[in-house]
Chain A
Amino acid sequence: MNFTFLQNYIFRKIDRSLFGSIFLILIIGLINLTSANQQDAPQTLSQIFNIIIGVSFFYLICNIKTRIILSFAPWAYLISIVLLILVNSFGIESHGAQRWISLGIFNIQPSETLKISLPLMLAWFYQKNDYKIYYKIHFLAGLLIFLPFYLVLIQPDLGTSILILWVGIIIIFLAGLPIKFLTISFFGLLVFSPFIWNSLLSYQKQRILSLIDPFSDPYGSGYHSIQSMIALGSGGGFGRGWLNGTQTKLDFLPETSTDFAFSVFSEEFGFLGVLAVIAIYTFIFYRCMWMTSKMQDNFSRLLSAGLTVSLFSGFIINLAMISGIFPIVGVPLPFFSYGGTSMVVSLISIGIIMNLYLNKSLIAN
């Protein structure tokens, strides 16, 4: 590494508005975390550490050659799959599911890495098979999606597996899957839905049922939904003030640092705060999509769109979950919830998008 490298790569112009708005979310997330974890300083410090690692990866990835990313794609996918198999056999159990794998000093969540490696693999796969967009290719892409989907589903982690499936399908859709086929699959899914329902575990069924009417079983499966809605609702327009949310402070709200971090925020900062944060996310989304549209090749556009969809599907599911319109499935809010893997993965995703945008096209390299 010499001086020229630093000049050429580290200080290259990055999109200030995108990075600035993400930075804003990170800061708000940290302030919120202090309240959510009831001023548990070690956790807050650990999140700051996660952000530093994530931002470092972001800078690194911004500045590598796009071809490196391209060539790394199948390996990333393979590593994710291997990790998933490992986690299913030797993982650390938490909340009745094996989601974590210990890498010595820190644990990672392999299902989170799929949020990068799957779009990467699919983009690489379609790039390899350029000019040959046939059903066979889409079908093979479908298999590439189904394998990790299945591995995550049996962990069991319903939320992340649905997210993976959803992102994969959107990428295939963007890759040009005929509308006709989409329609057929939709009806196919309807037919098979009873079988899928039967394969769900009872706690997952309970959660989905509780969605229909959470108040029917307020102390059972609907409890978390209700407590989260109470947090939101009692926040009102202007919120109850930072550190003043009783739902958080008195432990009525579960998982305040991770899945329900935004419930804490909604309770303490009210609808105005919520609007501001959603506005920033919307801007990030818009910026990512705008950058994607400026890209010149299939690989870049598919990958960039896939990563954006992956990030913002997480955003949608999390907000829908805490506001009681989606079951409690355990999907964190990107950039906001506590969690190392999620934070690093989200920042790497943005780093890749930025890299693709800066290079515009594979050909330019």
Chain B
Amino acid sequence: MDKYYIKYILGNRLRFIFYCFLTVFFLIILRFFYIQILQNNYYSTQALYNSIKIIPIAPARGLIFDRNNIIIADNKLNYSLEIIPEKIENLSTIVGELSKVVSIEEKDIKRYKRILKNKQFSNSIPIKSNLTIKEAAKFVSNSYQFPSIELKETIKRFYPQGSVGVHFIGYINRISKKDLIILESKGLKKNYIGTDHIGKSGVELQYENELHGISGFEHIEVNSIGKPIRVLKTSPAEEGGNIHLTIDLKMQKIAEDAFKNKKGALIAIDPTNGEILAYVSMPTYNPGFFVDGISHKNWNKLNQSNDKPLLDRAINGLYPPGSTLKPFVAVAALENQLRAPPFKINDPGYFSINNSRRFRDWKIGGHGEVNIIKAIAVSCDTFFYGLAVELGIPRLNKSLANFGFGKKTGIDLPNEKKGLLADAKWKKKKYNKKWYSGETAITGIGQGYTQVTPIQLALATSKIALPNKSIVPHIKLNSQSLRQNIDLTAPLIISEQTIQWVKKGMENVTDDGGTAAFIGQNIQYKVAAKTGTAQVFSLKKGEVYDEEKVPDHLKDHALFIAYAPAENPKIAVAIVVENGGHGGSTAGPIAKKIFDYYLTSESH
């Protein structure tokens, strides 16, 4: 039996086992062939995906300087402590240990947890940012206790001038979903992978592309817990370009200081080339608020304040121009062969259409004999009521549009408002009401529906000063020639005679008897100007405006436009002081400070 068993049963079964195993070996080879040869591409990608992380390197944002190389927007090193979540076992013990070295607040822990919850990749998460140099040093000397925490250096926007010029500088803030959609539509999203912040207003927004720079990338090999092992490839970030502005920061500060606590706006422009020298909108706020993400409380405070600090009054503030419109109305009349000297009127102190409603002059009893030059100098309302009625709205608006009213000036800042030159068609559409000739009369003295921005006033003033220059107001130095897509406002085609008369009128404003005569005293240069007072609300019939009795927020706006020196204009300004009362006395001194600085100071 043993022999038989060995020969047949065991022999056969051994052979059976042998072939079974060989078959399994073969199947295993097939399996390896399938994975290694047929699926090679798939698994190679998986291996790469496992081990290579692409870390974007955010470029340093370009700096912003004024025209004299004074820094306005800077970058500052920021130290933060970051944790690699995979490396720690218990957050609270780590934080407990860490807070012996650096103070950790409840909000830091909250933020850490929030970011941890939303994180996509195996990156480190800040547990504390904005460390002082002292705190950073203290951590470094104790860092051996915290192998899972690293000190990171990042660059952060810093505005060394504080709130000075905040409206044209603008601010940056964390990139929002809306920003991402815009970036994607422009095909720029990839460039922003490593970037946290984006320009939200002012120059920071306008020149975002130049300031941002180009993202770099680091290909890093990481191990299974996401720890970087080595850098495989680096394409460094290209830092953003620096921008020089046309702003003269010293003048900017003088102007802002001159406003004291008053609200309003100021534009100082070089009429020879359109460079904005000062750009004020009051009140201001601190742009640094936004860099770390503004808190809800601060935002509400800024946004809901009656003083509207977030409103950029220089290009978004809409004001009735008041009497500052008169020189431009005068040009319109003269160019239409109306009211040219020696034409004069005898001003009784009021103007009436068909002897019905009377339109009062600001001076009770009137100015006596008034020609167009004197009408500008003493700001004679009666003269301009009649002029406007005879000229008519269509001819007036056409001429005003030539000065840039009713349309954007094209300044290189976002969201400029275009103001309003109203006419019968506009009123019909807006209110479905007929246009009255009385409305034409008050349009002649800059009241009524007409609305202008300070930048428009400044541009129009510099066009009076130098009518043959075609300029676009701009805030980035040497940017005018680059901005091909904007139609330069064509040079005004005004007769030499017209401009001489109007200029004469404006020069007389600062002479004895003019509405801003005090400016002309003790001064080495000649200022041509025009004052204005814009009513915030209409007086009832027979009511007399009494500055003492009117609450502050209903007081008239003070306006002032000027250029100097009169014979060779180098600077033009437009000033609005909200609720400032009379233009000459409130806004005039501000202009004088700027002219003094610009035209007489040694440093310039």
Residues in B6-50 with C-beta less than 8 Å from chain A: 6, 9-11, 13-14, 17-18, 21-22, 24-25, 28-29, 31-33, 35-37, 39-40, 42-44, 46-47, 50
A246 to B17, alpha carbons, bound, how many Å? Answer: 38
Are the CB atoms of A312 and B21 closer together than 8 Å? yes
A289 to B32, alpha carbons, bound, how many Å? Answer: 25
Instruction: List residues of chain B with CB within 8 A of the CB of A41.
Output: none
Instruction: List residues of chain B with CB within 8 A of the CB of A296.
Output: 6
Are the CB atoms of A246 and B51 closer together than 8 Å? yes
Total interface residues in chain B, CB < 8 Å: 38
The A interface is mostly helix, strand or loop, or mixed, namely helix
Are the CB atoms of B21 and A285 closer together than 8 Å? yes
A74 CB–B CB distance under 8 Å: no
Identity of the chain B residue whose Cβ is nearest the Cβ of A271 in the assembled complex: B36
The residue in B10, B42, B222, B223 that gathers the most chain A C-beta atoms within 10 A of its C-beta is B10
Q: Which of B11, B21, B37 contacts A271 (CB 8 A)?
A: B37
Instruction: List residues of chain B with CB within 8 A of the CB of A246.
Output: 47, 50-51, 221
Residues in A266-296 with C-beta less than 8 Å from chain B: 266, 270-271, 274-275, 278, 281-282, 285, 289, 292-293, 296
Given contacts A246-B221, A250-B50, contact A319 B36 (CB under 8 A): no
Given contacts A131-B2, A246-B221, A278-B28, contact A323 B35 (CB under 8 A): yes
Are the CB atoms of A230 and B47 closer together than 8 Å? yes
Write the nearest CB–CB distance from A131 to chain B, whole angstroms: 6
Identity of the chain A residue whose Cβ is nearest the Cβ of B42 in the assembled complex: A233
Are the CB atoms of A282 and B25 closer together than 8 Å? yes
Write the nearest CB–CB distance from B19 to chain A, whole angstroms: 10
B229 CB–A CB distance under 8 Å: yes
Identity of the chain A residue whose Cβ is nearest the Cβ of B8 in the assembled complex: A176
The residue in A233, A266, A270, A285 that gathers the most chain B C-beta atoms within 10 A of its C-beta is A233
Instruction: List residues of chain A with CB within 8 A of the CB of B121.
Output: none
B225 CB–A CB distance under 8 Å: yes
B436 CB–A CB distance under 8 Å: no
Identity of the chain A residue whose Cβ is nearest the Cβ of B22 in the assembled complex: A282
B5 CB–A CB distance under 8 Å: yes
A40 CB–B CB distance under 8 Å: no
Instruction: List residues of chain B with CB within 8 A of the CB of A350.
Output: none
Write the nearest CB–CB distance from A229 to chain B, whole angstroms: 6
Given contacts A229-B43, A271-B37, A323-B28, contact A309 B17 (CB under 8 A): yes
Given contacts A323-B28, A323-B31, A325-B31, contact A234 B21 (CB under 8 A): no
Identity of the chain B residue whose Cβ is nearest the Cβ of A288 in the assembled complex: B18
B1 CB–A CB distance under 8 Å: yes
B538 CB–A CB distance under 8 Å: no
Instruction: List residues of chain B with CB within 8 A of the CB of A309.
Output: 17, 21
Instruction: List residues of chain A with CB within 8 A of the CB of B50.
Output: 227, 230, 246-247, 250, 252
Write the nearest CB–CB distance from A344 to chain B, whole angstroms: 24
The 6 A-B pairs of least Cβ separation, nearest first, read A233-B43, A234-B47, A250-B223, A271-B36, A236-B40, A251-B224
Residue contacts A-B, CB under 8 angstroms, 30 given: A130-B2, A176-B10, A232-B35, A233-B42, A233-B43, A233-B46, A233-B47, A246-B50, A246-B221, A247-B50, A249-B229, A250-B51, A250-B221, A250-B224, A250-B229, A251-B223, A266-B36, A271-B32, A271-B33, A274-B32, A274-B36, A278-B32, A293-B11, A293-B14, A297-B6, A301-B6, A301-B10, A302-B10, A319-B28, A325-B31
- The interface of chain A, by Cβ under 8 A from chain B, is 130-131, 133, 170, 173-176, 227, 229-237, 246-247, 249-252, 266, 270-271, 274-275, 278, 281-282, 285, 289, 292-293, 296-298, 301-302, 305, 309, 312, 316, 319-320, 323-325
